[in-house]
Amino acid sequence: MHLGSTALKHHKEKHYERDNIQRMTGYTWGEQPGSADVIKLNTNENPYPPSPEVAKALAGLDLKRLRRYPPPLANDFRDRAASLHGVERDWLIATNGGDELLRLLVTTFMEPGTPLATTAPSYSLYPVLAAVQGCATVEVPLGPGFTLPADLAERANAASAALTCVVNPHAPTGTLFTVDELERLATALDGLLLIDEAYVDFVDPDRGHDAVSLVRRHSNVVLLRTLSKGYALAGLRFGYGIAQPEIIAPMLEKTRDSYNLDLIAQVLATAAIDDQTWAKDNAARVRSQRQWLRDGLSELGFEVPPSQANFLFARVPSGHDALTLKTRLQSAGILLRHFSAPGLDDRLRISIGSEQENAILLQRLGELLA
């Protein structure tokens, strides 16, 4: 029996997506070149390799273990990470990258139609996840000098936002908001506060920055951590969240995907977080290159605010166009990130590369600007 032409036409014209999915725009990731010859400074990856203990753990993995499902809760990793941060295991959830934690927060704690609040600019995945849930996003512009908006809590509460997301150190600016500022925000908010600490491993140690204390004092605070940046494991997709147990439990027991972390990822992530000496030395190398690159860009006429992340957000010299520079560098095999939004379009976000990569970038920029 064949479908008639009317039935075929009906099936071709019918849309199966939910209406809000049809209307939304998906997340746009940075270029991922296939060639190893490209100097890739556009997606804030770590320029240095992960701990040698990761390689040892991979080499020593018994492949027979792969025939069974992985530990469902990643308890070995959770125990190590909890010990590192001075909390108990039930204060921590391990996720498939920090992005899975964001999705879990949205689907677990946000009723469809309830807004999400964040700063403008911020991580562009936040409004995408909100839109998937059928939620609007309230964006509050940063204050002068990329400071935390003084009215963020007021505007989030006025919109009845169930979740407010703040990247700290901030992306794409690299600004670090203090624990005191975040504490005032957490106290004033009616909903949850997610502090996205994807770049916190690169904060200068003399700042004494530690937001874990906020989790202990505030039941509405969630910290996001990732192994992508500080542990040089972006390809592994492994992150975790820290919060009080009543926040962790529903994500862990109800809304998390079954077996959300494969065995290999769990073994390698545990090896990485165990080697704190390597992680700290790695971050110190990145901070050293961050300062060196900032000085070099300033000499070329860029305006480069201080950064506590593994990238710089540099305003191009007067008389030059940021997008044109980005495009010409891309033609030369160097990838940077440009944002077209007003107020950002005269800047380039530059991930900190290796010593050699940073030197090549400065040399090429000098040639282009001349």
The pLDDT of residue 23 is 85
Helix axes 263-274, 52-59, angle to 10 degrees: 140
Q: What's the mean per-residue pLDDT of the chain?
A: 95
Residue extent(s) of CATH 3.40.640.10 domains in the chain: 52-274
Q: Which residue has the higher pLDDT, 80 or 11?
A: 80
Contacts of 2 (CB under 8 A, 6+ apart): none
The pLDDT of residue 32 is 78
| Burial grade of 170 (CB within 10 A; 0-12, 13-18, 19 or more) | buried
The percent of residues in the chain predicted with pLDDT above 70, rounded, is 97
- DSSP-based three-state secondary structure for 149: coil
Binning pLDDT at 50, 70 and 90, where does residue 12 land?
low
Q: Which residue has the higher pLDDT, 27 or 285?
A: 285
The percent of residues in the chain predicted with pLDDT above 90, rounded, is 89
On whether the CB atoms of residues 62 and 220 are closer than 8 A, the answer is no
Is the per-residue pLDDT at 7 higher than 90? no
The pLDDT of residue 3 is 57
Is the per-residue pLDDT at 13 higher than 90? no
Stretch 277-298: mean pLDDT, rounded?
A: 98
Question: DSSP character for 11?
Answer: H
Stretch 249-268: mean pLDDT, rounded?
A: 97
On whether the CB atoms of residues 316 and 20 are closer than 8 A, the answer is no
The pLDDT of residue 258 is 94
CATH T-level fold of 52-274 = Aspartate Aminotransferase; domain 2 (3.40.640)
Position 158, amino acid: A
Binning pLDDT at 50, 70 and 90, where does residue 301 land?
very high
Is the per-residue pLDDT at 321 higher than 60? yes
On whether the CB atoms of residues 197 and 280 are closer than 8 A, the answer is no
The pLDDT of residue 33 is 80
The pLDDT of residue 137 is 97
Position 51, amino acid: S
Tens digit of each residue's pLDDT (9 = 90 or more) over 191-227? 999 999 999 999 999 999 999 999 999 999 999 999 9
Tens digit of each residue's pLDDT (9 = 90 or more) over 100-136? 999 999 999 999 999 999 999 999 999 999 999 999 9
CATH T-level fold of 39-49+277-369 = Aspartate Aminotransferase, domain 1 (3.90.1150)
Is the per-residue pLDDT at 254 higher than 70? yes
The pLDDT of residue 1 is 52
The pLDDT of residue 63 is 95
The pLDDT of residue 4 is 59
Residue extent(s) of CATH 3.90.1150.10 domains in the chain: 39-49+277-369
State the Cα–Cα distance between residues 104 and 98, nearest whole angstrom: 10
Stretch 54-58: mean pLDDT, rounded?
A: 98
The pLDDT of residue 11 is 59
Is the per-residue pLDDT at 2 higher than 90? no
Q: Which residue has the higher pLDDT, 336 or 29?
A: 336
Is the per-residue pLDDT at 249 higher than 70? yes
State the Cα–Cα distance between residues 73 and 251, nearest whole angstrom: 11
